[in-house]
Chain A
C-alpha cells in the first residue's frame, strides 16, 4: 500500500474490523509511515477525549419538574377510570413507538382524556410552574459545582493525583471532595468505628488519589466507570445547604447507608476536616445525613441521622 491510510480505515483496524489482508496492509504501511502512525495514535485518544467531557448533573429544577409531570400523570390515571385496569386504558393512548412521537411534553399527558375540564386546568398550572422552575434553574446549576468536580476526580483517568495536594490549599475553587461508595452501613452506635475504617481506606487528605472508590458496592458496576452522573445532585445541594454561610465543605463524601430501628436506608456521610483547607488533619467531623437534606423545605439539621468526630488515621 503506497498511499496513506485514511482515518476511518485506521479506526476500523483498531476495532479489529478489517479483513485479514487489509489489516496486514495497514499494519505494514503504518510501520513505515510516521504520518499514519501519528494519526493512529490520535485516533486512539479520541475515546479518552470524549470520556473526559463532563456534563452538568441533573438540575434539581428539572428533577422537580419531572416529578410534577409524573404526579399529574398519576393523578390523571387514577382519576380517569377508577375501575378500569390501568394497562389497557393507557395503552390506547399511545403511538406504536415506545417514545412518544407526540408533541413536546406540554400538552401530551391530558390530551386523550381531558374530558373533565378542572383536570385540564390543573395540568396547566403544573406546566406553568414547571416553566418557572426551569427559568430559575441556572442558579441551581451554578450551585452544583461540587458534584461535577467530584465526579471528575472519581473518574479522572490517571493524572490529577500529583496536582491535588497543592490544590487542597488553594481557594474554594479548587475544592474537590472525594466521593466514594464504601458500602458501609452506618449506625448510631458504630459510627466511630465505621468512620475510622472508611478513613483508613480513604484518607481524603492523602494526595495520591488512592482514595478512589473502594469496591463497586453495587449499582455503579453497570458501566464500571463512575462518572459525574453517578453523584446525585441532591448531594451537592445538601452540601451547599449545610455549608450555609460558613462555606465549610466536606473533604470526603461517602454514598452509603444508615441503619436504625431495623430499617436501612440510603444515607450520605460527610467528612469534614478539622482544619479546613489544610492537608494534615487531626480529626474529622463526620455527619451522616438522610437524602433530602438540602431540599428547600427542610432544615439541614433535621436530616442529620447521627454525627461524631474521629481522629485522622
Chain B
C-alpha cells in the first residue's frame, strides 16, 4: 500500500495526469498537492480576495480534473494549470462585474488584518498597508496588464514563462507590464522609498546650534 503511494509521489506531472485520465483516483490528488500552493498564490494576487481566490481555485481544479484528457503533451502541466487558474480568475472577475457591490465578508477582513499585523512590528515605511494599497491599485488596471504584472513582477516568472501561460508573445507581455507599471505609478509612489524622513521633524536640528 505505502509503496504504491510512494510511487505516485515520484511520478512526473504528465504521467500523473494521464493516469488520472485513465481512472487512477490518487493521481489527481497528488497533482493538486504539488501545485495548489502556487495556484493559490496566483489566484489570491489576481483577485485580491481570499474567498474569491478559493472559489477560483476550486473551479480551476475541477476543470482540470474533468479536462485532463484535453491536456496536450507539449506544454508543461504547470503551465496548463496556470492557464486554467487564470481562466477561472477571469470568470470570477467577470461575474463580479456583473454583480457589483459584493459585501466585504469577514473572511476577507480577517485575511487583510492578518496581512497587516504579520508584517512585524514597527514599520517606518508604513508598508503594512501596502498589500491592500497594491491590490486596490491593481484592481484599476485592465485585466491583461494585471495578469502580466502578477506573473512577472509579483510572482517573479520570466517573461517567456508568462508569455507561455498567457499564450501571447513575449513582447506583448513586456508591453503589458510596461503599461501596467506606468498606470500603477501614481498609486504606488507613496509606497516606494520610505522617503525623506525629515518630513517629520528630525530630532537633530539644523546647523542652528545655539
> Which residues of A are interface residues toward B (Cβ below 8 A)?
6-8, 10-12, 14-17, 39, 42-43, 45-59, 62-63, 65-67, 69-70, 73-74, 77-78, 85-87, 90-91, 93-94, 97-102, 104-105, 108-109, 134-135, 137-138, 141-142, 144-145, 148-149, 167, 170, 173-174, 176, 222-225, 227-230, 232-233, 263, 265-266
| Contact call A94/B63, Cβ cutoff below 8 A | yes
Further contacts, 16 of them, CB under 8 A, given A49-B130, A142-B114:
A15-B175, A46-B188, A46-B192, A49-B191, A51-B156, A57-B40, A59-B54, A62-B57, A65-B58, A70-B62, A97-B87, A138-B110, A222-B161, A227-B156, A263-B6, A265-B6
| Contact call A229/B134, Cβ cutoff below 8 A | no
| Contact call A67/B32, Cβ cutoff below 8 A | yes
Task: Judge if B74 is at the interface, Cβ distance under 8 Å.
Answer: no
Q: What would 28 A/B residue contacts be, using CB atoms closer than 8 Å? A: A6-B182, A8-B182, A11-B181, A15-B174, A43-B182, A45-B192, A46-B153, A49-B188, A50-B184, A51-B156, A53-B131, A59-B50, A65-B58, A66-B32, A66-B58, A67-B32, A70-B28, A70-B62, A73-B62, A94-B67, A97-B87, A99-B84, A100-B63, A138-B106, A141-B114, A142-B110, A224-B158, A227-B156
Interface of B is mostly: helix
Given A66-B58, A90-B66, A100-B91, does the pair A45, B193 have CB atoms closer than 8 Å?
yes
| Contact call A50/B91, Cβ cutoff below 8 A | no
- Residue-wise, chain B 32-70 has the 8 Å CB interface mask toward A (1 for contact) of 100011101100110000110011011111111111111
Residues on B with C-beta less than 8 A from A90 are 66-67, 69
A229 to B59, CA, bound (A): 20
A146 to B35, CA, bound (A): 21
| Contact call A46/B184, Cβ cutoff below 8 A | yes
Task: Judge if B204 is at the interface, Cβ distance under 8 Å.
Answer: no
Residue in B37, B57, B61, B87 whose CB lies within 8 Å of A232: B37
Task: Judge if B111 is at the interface, Cβ distance under 8 Å.
Answer: yes
| Contact call A50/B134, Cβ cutoff below 8 A | yes
| Contact call B88/A99, Cβ cutoff below 8 A | yes
Given A8-B179, A99-B91, A263-B6, does the pair A229, B78 have CB atoms closer than 8 Å?
no
User: Which B-chain residue is minimally distant from A219 (CB atoms)?
Assistant: B34
B contact residues, range: 35 or more
| Contact call B36/A58, Cβ cutoff below 8 A | yes
A78 to B22, CA, bound (A): 11
Task: Judge if B168 is at the interface, Cβ distance under 8 Å.
Answer: no
A10 to B181, CA, bound (A): 10
| Contact call A263/B179, Cβ cutoff below 8 A | no
Residues on B with C-beta less than 8 A from A77 are 23
A100 to B60, CA, bound (A): 7
A170 to B120, CA, bound (A): 11
Residues on B with C-beta less than 8 A from A142 are 110, 114
How many whole Å from B22's CB to the nearest CB in chain A?
7
Which has the most chain A C-beta neighbours within 10 Å: B153, B155, B181? B181
A173 to B161, CA, bound (A): 37
> Which residues of B are interface residues toward A (Cβ below 8 A)?
2-3, 6, 9, 21-23, 25, 28-29, 32, 36-38, 40-41, 44-45, 50-51, 54-55, 57-70, 78, 83-88, 90-91, 106-107, 110-111, 114-115, 117-121, 127, 130-131, 134-135, 149, 152-158, 161, 171, 174-175, 177-179, 181-185, 188-189, 191-193
Residues on A with C-beta less than 8 A from B69 are 87, 90-91
Residue in A138, A174, A265 whose CB lies within 8 Å of B121: A174
Residues on B with C-beta less than 8 A from A70 are 28-29, 32, 61-62, 65
A138 to B70, CA, bound (A): 37
| Contact call A149/B178, Cβ cutoff below 8 A | no
| Contact call B111/A105, Cβ cutoff below 8 A | no
| Contact call A86/B192, Cβ cutoff below 8 A | no
A74 to B51, CA, bound (A): 24
How many whole Å from A119's CB to the nearest CB in chain B?
16
Given A98-B67, A230-B37, does the pair A224, B29 have CB atoms closer than 8 Å?
no
Residues on A with C-beta less than 8 A from B23 are 77-78, 85-86
Residue in B36, B88, B106, B184 whose CB lies within 8 Å of A63: B36
| Contact call A141/B110, Cβ cutoff below 8 A | yes
Residues on B with C-beta less than 8 A from A233 are 37
How many whole Å from B103's CB to the nearest CB in chain A?
15
